């Protein structure tokens, strides 16, 4: 094809047809420009197609992450409900008059000591942010995902930090020799008597009250936050599914 065009140019020049040659040259330039534009358009179309295919993959991965977060949140709420109920039972004990120290200690040892640390997986968002591919997510969805992840990270730090405070308080309670960790000692009558005589039970009770107070407050707030998280997840999943259906 190139040889064919070159021959035409040479023939026009050899015949002295300069005007026709110029018109032909301009036409050839236009053809080249049009060819370049078409090639660029095809390349852009191909790149857009690849980007859309990648976007579809990311959408499905995000939904998978969100579904996992929802399952995790519901399971954690069940744990929190049980722990909160055990503390409510302890608090209700004080509706009884003339409680003894033993009554309070026994009730404290029935409160659930374990509280869940939070850990949310959001691998797809971490990949999007680290690779810069977050830019291919439409702005309205991108902003909601970023906000969602920020809220998860923020409350995870608060929840886990409060639980560290709780564990430090729980350790003080146990060190007083009346916590559930000392149950094997208290099962022995002589040891139990010695503990009662040597340690002021009220110090242990106050330490437990302080520790469980932090735990109870944190669990109530975390349960509330997780219910909000579930609603946000449902909104995000519906939004992304509507994009996948387009």
78-116: per-residue pLDDT in tens?
A: 999 999 999 999 999 888 878 888 788 888 888 998 999
Span 196-217, average pLDDT: 80
Residue 27 lies in a domain: no
Task: Say what the pLDDT of residue 203 is.
Answer: 76
Residue 30 lies in a domain: no
Residue 106 lies in a domain: yes
Give yes or no for a contact between 199 and 176, defined as CB atoms under 8 angstroms apart: yes
pLDDT in tens, 5-17: 455 445 544 555 4
Q: Count how many domains the chain has.
A: 1
Task: Say what the pLDDT of residue 214 is.
Answer: 94
Containing structural domain, residue 102: 56-244
Task: Say what the pLDDT of residue 12 is.
Answer: 45
Residue 80 lies in a domain: yes
Give yes or no for a contact between 111 and 212, defined as CB atoms under 8 angstroms apart: yes
131: closest CA among 61, 69, 43? 61
Residue 38 lies in a domain: no
Task: Say what the pLDDT of residue 159 is.
Answer: 97
Task: Say what the pLDDT of residue 1 is.
Answer: 46
- What's this model's pTM, rounded to 2 decimal places? 0.76
Residue 232 lies in a domain: yes
What CA dihedral angle connects 211, 213, 219 and 224, to 10 degrees? -160
Q: How far apart are CA 178 and CA 159, in angstroms?
A: 27
Task: Say what the pLDDT of residue 13 is.
Answer: 46
Mean pLDDT of the chain: 82
Least confident among 63-72, 160-169, 198-207: 198-207
Task: Say what the pLDDT of residue 38 is.
Answer: 75
Residue 138 lies in a domain: yes
DSSP letters, 68-85, are: HHHHHHHHHHHHHHHHHH
Residue 22 lies in a domain: no
C-alpha distances out from residue 85 to 16, 80, 81, 90, 113, Å: 102, 8, 6, 9, 12
C-alpha distances out from residue 146 to 28, 138, 141, 153, 178, Å: 51, 12, 9, 11, 47
pLDDT in tens, 26-72: 656 666 667 677 767 766 666 677 778 899 999 999 999 999 999 99
Least confident among 67-76, 161-170, 181-190: 181-190
Task: Say what the pLDDT of residue 30 is.
Answer: 67
Please give the DSSP secondary-structure letter assigned to residue 62. H
Q: How far apart are CA 103 and CA 108, in angstroms?
A: 9
């Amino acid at each position: 094809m190139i040889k064919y065009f070159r021959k035409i140019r040479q023939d026009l020049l050899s015949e002295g047809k300069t005007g026709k040659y110029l018109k032909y040259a301009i036409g050839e330039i236009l053809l080249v420009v049009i060819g370049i534009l078409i090639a660029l358009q095809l390349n852009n179309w191909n790149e857009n197609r690849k980007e859309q295919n990648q976007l579809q993959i990311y959408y499905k991965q995000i939904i998978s992450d969100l579904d996992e977060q929802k399952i995790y949140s519901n399971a954690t709420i069940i744990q929190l409900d049980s722990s909160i109920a055990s503390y409510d039972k302890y608090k209700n004990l004080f509706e009884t008059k003339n409680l003894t120290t033993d009554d309070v200690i026994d009730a404290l040892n029935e409160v659930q000591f374990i509280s869940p640390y939070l850990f949310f997986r959001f691998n797809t968002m971490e990949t999007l942010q680290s690779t810069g591919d977050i830019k291919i997510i439409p702005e309205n969805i991108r902003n909601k995902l970023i906000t969602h992840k920020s809220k998860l990270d923020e409350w995870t730090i608060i929840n886990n930090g409060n639980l560290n405070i709780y564990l430090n308080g729980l350790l003080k309670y146990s060190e007083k020799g009346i916590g559930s960790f000392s149950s094997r000692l208290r099962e022995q009558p002589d040891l139990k008597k010695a503990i009662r005589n040597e340690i002021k039970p009220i110090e242990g009770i106050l330490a437990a009250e302080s520790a469980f107070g932090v735990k109870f407050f944190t669990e109530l707030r975390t349960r509330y936050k997780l219910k909000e998280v579930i609603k946000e997840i449902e909104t995000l999943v519906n939004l992304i599914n509507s994009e996948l259906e387009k």
